Amino acid sequence: MKYKNIPDQNGYFGDFGGCFVSETLMPAIEELKETFVKMRKDKKFQNELKSYLKNYVGRPTPLYFAEKLSKKFQFKLYLKREDLCHTGAHKINNALAQVLLAKKMGKTRVIAETGAGQHGVATATAASLLGLKCRVYMGTEDMRRQSLNVFRMQLLGTEVIGIDSGSKTLKDAINEAFRDWVTHVKDTHYVLGTAFGAHPYPYMVREFMSVIGTEAYKQIKKAEKRLPDAVIACVGGGSNAIGIFSSFIKDKKVRLIGVEAGGKGIESGLHAARFAGGRVGVFQGTKSYLLQDENGQALTTHSVSAGLDYASVGPEHSFLREIKRASYSYATDEEALNGFSTLAKEEGIIPALESSHAVGYLISHAEEFKNQLIILNLSGRGDKDVIQVKEIMENMQ
């Protein structure tokens, strides 16, 4: 199957994707689609975005040769350092681009939903920079667990609205954000945080994240005079992974590997590995793999890292898996924690718990990657996670 022309007009990647939203949101979705397509070719918009990415976010991020870790496990590993982006992760690439797009559409207000708070902080940052009003929806349970990120958003001038219904977590916050959008479509843009949701979001977020892959492709060719044997990334909704994969998809010899959160192990049922344990279903605007019960209700997921804790996965990943261009595996909480401490000890880099899943997977499968050239996308830094990891380690003793 040809890859280049996807998604189609209706936002389908093969059988996956689409646009499942209520009638009331269609005008906003259409406007977004039109503006995005126009701005992709708009020199002024692209230059403005490039300038912010360079001078504000700190791009290009380095491609770093992890020499000690490579020696220890007998592979040749390069880390794409998204952890060095302003605000500490890749999420700012997308948030900044979407808020800039909102401004071009004449919107004065952006809204977002957040679980762990990382996407909320990225959106609040971009809104502060570009002078738009910002409101972030967050479950009260998540607000309690992530009080520091709540305060961060408030410092940035964002209004954080606690959602006290349902499970008081991300799923409920998303529903509330949609309700807000329906009521305020005229002046408001909804900044979605990953390559998920109704068309054009998965496509648009991929394009905004593809800067990671574009840079990494050039950097590895310069450093090694060849393409890598494998590119590895963790997969929550799938934005950092699709961002780095996108440049390598055409080079069929490069293995693309997505790592999901295996939680306490697939057998225990406490995980977030949608490909290992899910079925195809429609959820929050799109058709993709989904962890669901026999009635099609989305299940609660379990992972040590909040950023990978989501019942579904971006539709383009489902497609890449179906056509066997990418493969998907998972790392358990334990493997992720091992990745977290090993990278800290060997390279002096404390990774985000999300990214630690990719590192943990690689270490567990080191034998398979012997003598190979690998790029691992280090999606974020672990400052936000050190207290949680400290508590886990103390409890293990």
Ligand X SMILES: *Cc1c(COP(=O)(O)O)cnc(C)c1O
Q: Is 380 one of the binding residues for ligand X (CB under 6 A)?
A: yes
Position closest to ligand X via CB: 380
What three-state secondary structure class fits 235? coil
Q: Please choose, out of 269-277, 293-301, 327-335, 351-359, the segment that lies near ligand X by the rule CB under 6 A.
A: 351-359
Q: DSSP H helical segments within 91-146, as ranges?
A: 91-104, 118-130, 140-145
Please confirm, yes or no, whether 141 is among the known catalytic residues: no
Which position among 35, 123, 149, 194 is part of the footprint of ligand X (CB under 6 A)? 194
Span 354-373, contacts to ligand X by CB under 6 A: 354-355
- Parallel/antiparallel/unpaired status of strands 326-331 and 255-261: parallel
Please confirm, yes or no, whether 113 is among the known catalytic residues: yes
Span 195-224, contacts to ligand X by CB under 6 A: none
Please confirm, yes or no, whether 133 is among the known catalytic residues: no
For the bound state, the minimum distance from the C-beta of residue 347 to ligand X, rounded and expressed in Å, comes to 17
Span 292-311, contacts to ligand X by CB under 6 A: 307-308
- Number of residues interacting with ligand X: please give it, by CB under 6 A: 19
Q: Write out 253-291 in H/E/C secondary structure.
A: CCEEEEEEECCCCHHHCCCECHHHHCEEEEECCEEEEEC
Q: Which of 239, 247, 288, 379 is catalytic?
A: 379
* Burial class of residue 252 (count of CB atoms within 10 Å of its CB; 0-12, 13-18, 19+): exposed
Nearer to ligand X, 105 or 392 (CB): 392
DSSP per position, 30-98: HHHHHHHHHHHT-HHHHHHHHHHIIIII-PSPPEEE-HHHHHHHTSEEEEEEGGGSGGGBTHHHHHHHH
Rounded to whole angstroms, the Cα distance separating 202 from 195 reads 4
Nearer to ligand X, 79 or 352 (CB): 352
Nearer to ligand X, 45 or 207 (CB): 207
Span 73-132, contacts to ligand X by CB under 6 A: 89, 91, 118
Nearer to ligand X, 116 or 185 (CB): 116
Amino acid, single-letter form, for residue 68:
K
Span 221-250, contacts to ligand X by CB under 6 A: 234-241
Q: Which residues bind ligand X (CB under 6 A)?
A: 89, 91, 118, 194, 234-241, 307-308, 352, 354-355, 379-380
Positions marked catalytic: 91, 113, 379
